[in-house]
Amino acid sequence: MGSQIANDKKPEKPLFICVLANTETAYIEKISAAGKTAKLTDYTPTGDAELVETGGIISTPVLPMTPPYNTPTPGLITRASLQLSKVPHLFVNSGLKIAPKVSFEDLKAKPGEDIRQETAVHDVEGIIERARQVGEKVRDEHDMFVIGESTPAGTTTAMGVLNALGYDGHVSSSSCENPVDLKQKVVCEAMAVSGITKGSMESDPVRAVACLGDPMMPATAGLVEGLKGKRIILAGGTQMAAVYAFMKHMGTDLSNVSIVTTSYVAEDESANFTEIIEALGADMHAVDPGFGRSSHKGLRQYELGYVKEGVGAGGALYLAGLLGVSVDSIREEIENICVELADLIDEE
């Protein structure tokens, strides 16, 4: 994994892109911790976008947080990293239930269905094509792209797609107690409904995503196609591994694409992230946010596994590091944002 990815030099004009999506798979109780209740996960990507953009929330009733101690969303890591490194960002709406009150590119995608329905993602190829056009539009203005995502229950859909493509997908979780058995049960039910067995979709990745995925996956794949030839980092854990697998099976050129995540994902003993990466032959790097040194109780929960990754946090940290911003200064900035949000965060 190295201290940084080989050949990564300081970019001149990077862009951070965050793909926002919902899937009704998140309505399954206890499957996602990305919201105080299953239904509140509708607001999570919306709140994440508003938080990254403004430092607060506008349309959502609660700040995106994870119990206990109201562990703050990884969107705070992303905001602090982008603020201190002065990197511009772009949001892409690929199937949100609630549009954020910030500007975004709209792929006109429907939110994802529960993967136990016959179709989980409508119009996969249309989403890829519209995302490709967005990628082409911004491609020449920047020399490096970091693509993150905010999709509650995205690790479950990732497990489904990885399994359909033939990989062992023991995936990570935003929860301390990773509900692997529940995710496995849901994925098994979903595969049975679609008549899919492990590896049976390796030559039909579009159907794998249509039946078992979420709308973030085709959006990210389309962006990568549109950004062809540029340096691209997929910022995320298992979800980006699933996107990488999807693109690999579609025959996308991945020679300039790496995966960057947090050390919390790479070291998650309830998952097999590094084995998935090795099976994919992907270039991967993990960044340690160093929250064990934080004075903020909620942030210290990251070290205990309550939140691991999301909103492109690992990639945003990595990019800020390339631009000379230290992890310690980012952590201090996050603590400052937490203080500013104190009236929204009911601290223990």
Predicted local confidence at residue 336, as pLDDT: 86
Give the tens place of pLDDT for each residue, 269-281.
777 899 999 999 9
Q: Say if residue 291's pLDDT is above 50.
A: yes
The more confidently predicted of residues 2 and 236 is 236
Per domain, the residue ranges of the chain are 14-340
Instruction: Band the pLDDT of 170: cuts 50, 70, 90.
Output: low
Strand, helix or coil for residue 88: coil
Q: Say if residue 328's pLDDT is above 80.
A: yes
Instruction: Band the pLDDT of 261: cuts 50, 70, 90.
Output: very high
Query: Could you tell me if residue 279 is left (phi over 0), alpha (psi between -120 and 50 degrees) or otherwise beta?
Result: alpha
Pick from 156, 245, 253, 234: nearest CA to 206? 245
CB distance 50 to 56 below 8 Å: yes
Predicted local confidence at residue 238, as pLDDT: 92
Neighbouring residues of 35: CB distance < 8 A, sequence distance ≥ 6: 26, 41, 42, 43, 44, 64, 152
Give the tens place of pLDDT for each residue, 201-232.
999 999 999 999 999 999 999 999 999 999 99
The secondary element (H helix, E strand) that includes residue 164 is: helix 154-164
Percent of the chain with pLDDT over 90: 68
How many whole angstroms separate alpha carbon 9 and alpha carbon 175?
34
pTM of the model: 0.93
CATH number of 14-340: 3.40.50.10210
Per the prediction, the chain carries an average pLDDT of 89
How many whole angstroms separate alpha carbon 107 and alpha carbon 233?
21
Q: Say if residue 307's pLDDT is above 80.
A: no
Mean pLDDT for 176-181 is: 61
Predicted local confidence at residue 69, as pLDDT: 58
Report residue 125 as tokens.
């190829």
CB distance 274 to 168 below 8 Å: no
